[in-house]
Every structure is written in C-alpha cells, then in structure tokens.
Amino acid sequence: QLPVVNILIVAAEVSESVDQSMTTKQEKPTLAGVTLKTRKRNIVVPVDPASFANAVVAICQDSADAAGATTAQEELTAACKELENDSNLEFSRYGDTLFEVFFAGGMIAAGGKYVDEKSPKLKTHILLAHPSHEAILPFVKVFASMTRRRPFLIRGLENTLIKLLLTMEFFDTEKRKKIAIAMALIFANKIAVVPENVFSKCFNDRLVTKGTMLEFMTLFFQEFTSIQGISTDDLVSLLVKSKISSRLLDLFPPLNRSYDEFNRHFNDAGLSDLVLWNSKEIMALKINDLLTSLTDAVSGEPPASCADAIALSKSRVDEFSIPKEEVVRVSWLALMASINVTGKNQQQILQAIVALIKKYHKLLSTWVTSGKLELQLLTTIQCHCYEDNRLLKIFTDIVRMLYDADILNEDTIMHW
C-alpha cells in the first residue's frame, strides 16, 4: 500500500504545478518607443465636377471684379493669377472640367449642351469670343501658363479637345470656327498637347459620314496655315506627328472619297500647297510599289525573265502615270537589290553585276531613251555606289559595261 500512496502524492504535485503554469501568463516582449497605429479605412471622396466648375467661375468673376478688368485680356490675366495661387481646387481631379469652363463657360454634356443650365456660367469664354486669332489668343496664353505650372493639366486639355471634336455636329459654323482657331493656336504655340491623342479621334464614322469632320478639319487647316510664321510644311509636320498624314482621304464621306474630290475640295479651300504635297506623297507610294514589285520579280525563284520585268514595269507606269526618270532609277535599284553582296569582294560583285546586266539590259534600254534619262541613270548609279566602298571602286567598270551594252552614249558620259 505504501508505494501506491507515494504515486498518488507525486501525481497531485504534478497536477498542482501544471495548474499554476496555466494560470500564470508569460509577458510578451515589447519594442521600446514603437507606437502601434490602427489601420484606417480608405476615405472615398465623391466626384463632384459641378462644384469645381462653380468654384472656378466664382473665382474668375471675383478676380475680374477685384482687378477692375474691362477687357477679356484683363479678365483672363486676373483669373489666371488667382487660379494659379489657389491651393484648394483639385486640379488633378477636374482638369477636364477646368478647360470646359474656359471653352464653353460651364460643363458640357452630350449634344453640346450644358450639364446644368441653371448653374453660373463664365461670362468670358471661347465660344462667346469673336472668331479671330486676336480674340482667342489670350485664352491660349492662359492654357500655356497653367499647363506650364501644372503639367498634369495637359491631359485635361487633350480630353476637352477630344470632347469638342466628338460633339462637333452640335455646334454651328461660327462656333466650329472658334474651336478650330483655338486648336490651331494651341498647336502653333507648342503647348505640350500630343497631336496623335487628339487627331486620332477625327475618324469617327458618324461625323465623317455627315461631312462634319471634313468641314472642321478644313477650317483647322486654314486657320493653322494663316498664323504668322506657320507654313504648309509645319502643317505637314503636325499631320505626320499625329500619324494621320496618310489618312487624309478618310476624312471624306464614303460617297465622295476619291483623290479628284480631295484635290477639288482643298483647292477650293485655298489649300493648294496641301494638295501638291499630297500628290507627291501618293506618287512616292506608287513608285515604292513599283520598286517592291520589280525587286520581288527579279529576286524571285526562279527570277522573272527580262520580258516579264519589262511588262511589269510598263503595266505599273500605265496604271500610275509614273515619270520615266523615276522608272529608270527604280529599275536600277531593283536590279542591284537582287544581288547579295554579303561576304563578296569587289571582283565577285562585278561579275554578278555583269551577269545581271547581260540578262536585263533590255529593261534598262526600254526606259533610257534620251540623254536626260541617261544622266538620270548615271546619277542613280553614282549615288548607289557611294553607299558601299566596294561598289565605288568598280564604278568606272559599271559605266563602261553600260556603254558597251549601248545603254549609255559617249556624249552623255563626257557631259556627265
């Protein structure tokens, strides 16, 4: 019985020690000087562009009254100064609304109407100004000043211009002209608006079909080129940056979409330089098409015969009315493009040219029919040889070869 009693005593002691350890809480380590903050929920501020627009209108009106402004220029100067110093307005959220106020006096809704007809409107805005560069330029200067101080507003200006473009059908001719003048001055003064972001929206099917976009873009071209110091080259540069230089014909309604109509329309609008530039661009595309087609034919497997190459070039010339000077140049470049000069010395290159001219000399003689065209061929060969030192060393051999093939005459070579 004695061992049993000892076991019971030991068990009781173990149970008591376990109870004590469970009732005693061990203190956790702490970091001295660290304050634990409760995570706060994200505060969502409701979007309220109407209140922002009303605030902008009030600030502009109050600043104009305080400055005793009597002209639009003075009103805008006072308003711009006040807006630039105001730190309470959320320009980053409502950049679009800011420029809508300056363009239309208030927020614009679908259909070109105001979002709230009863809300206060800015008395001096672009759509109320006189349709002239002098009257609208002060607004553009304000845009330049504000976007220079707050570059993030540029996106808001772009969005406003896009919105005006897409609602253009709801404005009358006079308002369209004012918007065209404003856009022309914005791009002429090199405010950092990205042209592609704006003009890529010009091809809206609805506006193109109605002819609205063609009318507006014609006004824009006229106003832009009429600015002092701006030429057709500057307009072309803007169109290239906008990536619409090759899509001008797409501005025309589908039923009138032809190059003849393009030329007639812009000539009547006094934009003959634009028509001339576009004609050169079209011809360059046609010449490049001939070069590609002829190169593919000569470099094909198997290569086209000389008769087939002549037939191909004649068909393209008849179809596109390509000048003979360009046909001569393209013919030589197409033949040279078919020669693989990689890893070859000048002697091997010369042998390849000899074999090629022997096969296609009739292609050259078909188009080189006068002294002027012979000079064109010589100039083309010279420019091509200057691009590769190996070809430059065999230039005289190439000329002699063409002379022996009766493609070049002695008088032409002496004159050259």
Contact 122, 76 (CB under 8 A): no
CA distance 416 to 410: 10
Looking at residue 127, what DSSP letter applies?
G
**pLDDT value, residue 143:** 93
**pLDDT value, residue 394:** 82
The pTM of the full predicted model, rounded to 2 decimals, is: 0.78
Residue 257 corresponds to which tokens in the numbers above?
């979409």
CA distance 291 to 331: 7
**pLDDT value, residue 115:** 83
Cβ burial of 295 (10 Å; 0-12, 13-18, 19+) is middle
Contact 322, 266 (CB under 8 A): no
CA distance 61 to 55: 10
**pLDDT value, residue 1:** 47
Per-residue pLDDT of the chain in tens (416 residues, 90 and over written 9): 445 555 555 555 556 555 555 555 566 666 555 565 656 555 555 677 888 888 888 888 888 888 787 788 888 888 888 888 877 788 888 889 999 999 999 998 877 788 888 888 888 899 999 999 999 999 999 999 999 989 999 999 999 999 999 999 999 999 999 999 999 999 999 898 999 999 999 999 999 999 999 999 999 999 999 999 999 999 999 999 999 999 999 999 999 999 999 999 999 999 999 999 999 999 999 999 999 999 999 888 888 889 999 999 999 988 888 999 999 999 989 988 888 877 778 788 888 888 888 888 899 899 988 889 999 999 998 888 888 777 788 888 888 888 888 888 888 888 87
Contact 106, 90 (CB under 8 A): no
Instruction: Please enumerate in sequence order all residues whose Cβ is within 8 A of that of 283, keeping only pairs 6 or more positions apart, or say none.
Output: 320, 322
